[in-house]
Amino acid sequence: MPSPKPKARTYALRTKRLALSAILAAMAMIFSYIEALIPLPVPIPGIKLGLANLVIVIAIYRLGFKYAFIINCVRILITGLLFTGLFGAIYSFAGGVLSIVVMYLLYRTGLFSMVGVSMAGGVFHNLGQLLVACLIMSNFKLMSYFAVLLFSGLISGILIGIVAAVLYDKLPHLNV
């Protein structure tokens, strides 16, 4: 192979990757915005269905941990600045980081389908937020909400995983 060719390919790949990251980050923000518009009947701020998780799951599979993590952080930061405020951002950050780490680890084992990965993500997303709520309010009895959050995390995680799996197959398989 001539030497300039692989270099050009690398740049093209990187550009594609950046473009896809930007699109996914924008989508995640839109989902976060939709969620901010629909408050759930849970007395803890920041507990959401985790629609943005749909994007993060796809990002993990498509772009790997680093990109997915950055997309998630960008989403949380900008959503926090625009819609949910600093307090909401702290909750989102705890939930987002915990869920993305868990999802990536499960993904790496290769044992789980997208639905399983997303399901764990949904649960740990809520768990992370609940832990922060417990710390901020120094009230560990909030853990009694755990059952509600567990079920909502499981169900939303499974639904989002199914949607993510369908979307993932439908998305054009660009070589990124």
Partner 1 sequence: MIKKADIVLFLVILITGLAVSVVSLGDSAEGDNVVVTVDNEVYGIYPLSEDRVIEVRQQGHTNNITIKDGVVSMTYSDCANQVCVNTRPIAKTNDSIVCLPNRVIVEITSDEGGEVDVITG
Amino acid at 137: M
By C-beta, is 89 or 149 nearer to partner 1?
Answer: 149
Is 120 a binder of partner 1 (CB under 8 A)? Answer: yes
DSSP 96-141: HHHHHHHHHHHHHHT-S-HHHHHHHHHHHHHHHHHHHHHHHTT-GG
For residue 48, give the nearest of 27, 69, 67, 76 by alpha carbon.
76
Q: Which of 2, 37, 144, 175 binds partner 1 (CB under 8 A)?
A: 144
What number of chain residues touch partner 1 (CB under 8 A)?
Answer: 29
Q: Which of 1, 111, 170, 173 binds partner 1 (CB under 8 A)?
A: 111
Q: Which stretch binds partner 1 (CB under 8 A): 28-36, 65-73, 84-92, 104-112?
A: 104-112
Is 68 a binder of partner 1 (CB under 8 A)? Answer: no
CB 114 within 8 A of CB 122: no
Q: Which of 89, 114, 132, 160 binds partner 1 (CB under 8 A)?
A: 114
Is 41 a binder of partner 1 (CB under 8 A)? Answer: no
- Which residues sit at the interface with partner 1, rule CB under 8 A? 43, 106, 109, 111-116, 119-120, 123, 135-144, 146-147, 150-151, 154, 162, 165
